[in-house]
Structure 1
Amino acid sequence: SQAVLVKLLEKIINYLDFVLLSALLQMFLLRLMNQKSPDLCSLLQPDVHPGNCWAFRGSTGFLVIRLSMRVLPSAFTLEHIPKALAPSGTLHSAPRDFAVYVRERWRAFINLRERGKLLGTYTYDQDGDAVQTFAVSVLSNWGHEEYTCMYRFRVHGTPGDV
């Protein structure tokens, strides 16, 4: 089953993915409310086939993910398809530079662009491995003018305070 595969993959990577745990809960709640957001849901699932990504207009954007519990983050993983699998043979729509912020408290009515505390800025290497882990605001992509695609984003750490 998919749950067994996810557990096996998590053991291989050796990190618990708190985004996936949150996504499972949120997808369950979305299904209960009969709402669909397939593009955004693809970012939170371990399925990285070509075209199965969250695409947003332009080369900059932001994403807010509410985790299922308080987490002391130790690493972040940004995943894109390998260049060899890209239909164009390039990764121009892959995020290039991005930043990760944390908010200690989640309020029901907030300004989504409120940044919080900067944890770091990072660069996704388009010539590196498809899965890159760094010790999410996308600041740029690799040159695609119309959109940027994110295939998967993960947060690793231990349960506890930020």
Structure 2
Amino acid sequence: MVPLKKSFQVFIVLLSVALAAVFCGTALPGCSPWTKGLMEELPSVFSAGLKTLWNSHTFTETQKLQNLLEEVAQLRAEISSLKMALESCVKMDWALKSSGATIDTQRTSQTYDCNESFLCRILRLFWTTSPPDTILQPNVYPGNCWAFKGHQGQVVIRLPARVYLTAITVQHITKEASPSGTINSAPKDIAVFGVDADREEETLLGTFSYNVEKDPMQTFPLKNMLLPRAFSQVKLIVKSNWGNPWYTCIYRVKVHGKMENQKASTKGQDK
């Protein structure tokens, strides 16, 4: 910006000299010998001044554009890196029973008794009373879900390690796969908390709605991505379902994230 300003000042000076010379040469004949030589040199000097001004302006704008392109490239690289990290974390499921995840039954809602519902008794052929850890297993088929009474309940999942949580996945079945032709027992409004068992603290990581009109497996990003903190447990609170007055069913819950000491263990393996 400074070189451009200086070039502009030079240009103004040259222009002033040129105008003075023209005036002197036309209005004052006595000045003609002096102005004649000056007028002959002015075109080349004037042209050089304009060239310097243009080159300075062009260089400044080009440099700005170059800096902007470099910033965009860096931003794209960071976004790509973040996307890859997120995809990697989403592939990892820390809520698998086979990997060591368990249910804290003391802080989990009581399993629904099917005999309390007339409709449930009619559909008993398709219904099996399943324990809460059903949601930690990959076998998803009609009836193989954990149900709790009413439209509000909660489940606390103990993770096999302390994890920086990035997302959570909730899965139900489709209307077409449901024996009753409806999935109004699916959870709707859900809140997720990270639980630090050592200090008995709970941190809200996100609230979201499971949409029965969309894909039966839905993944939701958590706030913990911005301010990462490792947790040993996850608490999922269902605040409402899609209309079933008797019970709410949860088929599958997946917990995604990165293990707290994963970097340290990776470095140890490299040695």
TM-score, length of structure 1 as denominator length:
0.75
- Percent identity between matched residues is 44
Q: Give ranges in structure 1 of 5+ residues lacking alignment.
A: 1-10, 28-36
The alpha-carbon distance between structure 1 residues 56 and 119, as it changes in their structure 2 partners (threshold 3 A), is same
Tell me if structure 1 keeps the 8 A contact 2:184–2:242.
yes
Q: Determine the structure 2 residue equivalent to 1:118.
A: 204
The alpha-carbon distance between structure 1 residues 119 and 88, as it changes in their structure 2 partners (threshold 3 A), is same
Within the candidate set 59, 64, 67, 2:156 is matched to 64
Tell me if structure 1 keeps the 8 A contact 2:146–2:250.
yes
- 4+ residue runs of structure 1 moved beyond 3 angstroms? none
**Higher helix proportion, which one?**
2
Within the candidate set 34, 38, 43, 2:135 is matched to 43
Q: Determine the structure 2 residue equivalent to 1:33.
A: none
Within the candidate set 160, 165, 172, 1:80 is matched to 172
Within the candidate set 130, 149, 154, 2:254 is matched to 154
Q: Give ranges in structure 2 of 5+ residues lacking alignment.
A: 1-86, 103-128, 222-235, 262-271
- Secondary structure at the counterpart of residue 100 of structure 1: strand
Shift of 1:14: 5.4
- Secondary structure at the counterpart of residue 132 of structure 2: helix
Tell me if structure 2 keeps the 8 A contact 1:83–1:127.
no
Shift of 1:62: 0.7
Tell me if structure 2 keeps the 8 A contact 1:53–1:152.
yes
Shift of 1:68: 0.5
Shift of 1:46: 0.3
- Secondary structure at the counterpart of residue 99 of structure 1: strand
The alpha-carbon distance between structure 1 residues 106 and 153, as it changes in their structure 2 partners (threshold 3 A), is farther
Equivalent pairs counted in the alignment come to 133
Tell me if structure 2 keeps the 8 A contact 1:39–1:52.
no
Higher relative CO (Cα under 8 Å, sequence separation at least 6) belongs to 1
- Secondary structure at the counterpart of residue 143 of structure 1: coil
TM-score, length of structure 2 as denominator length:
0.46
- Quick check: which has more Rg, 1 or 2? 2
Q: Determine the structure 2 residue equivalent to 1:53.
A: 145
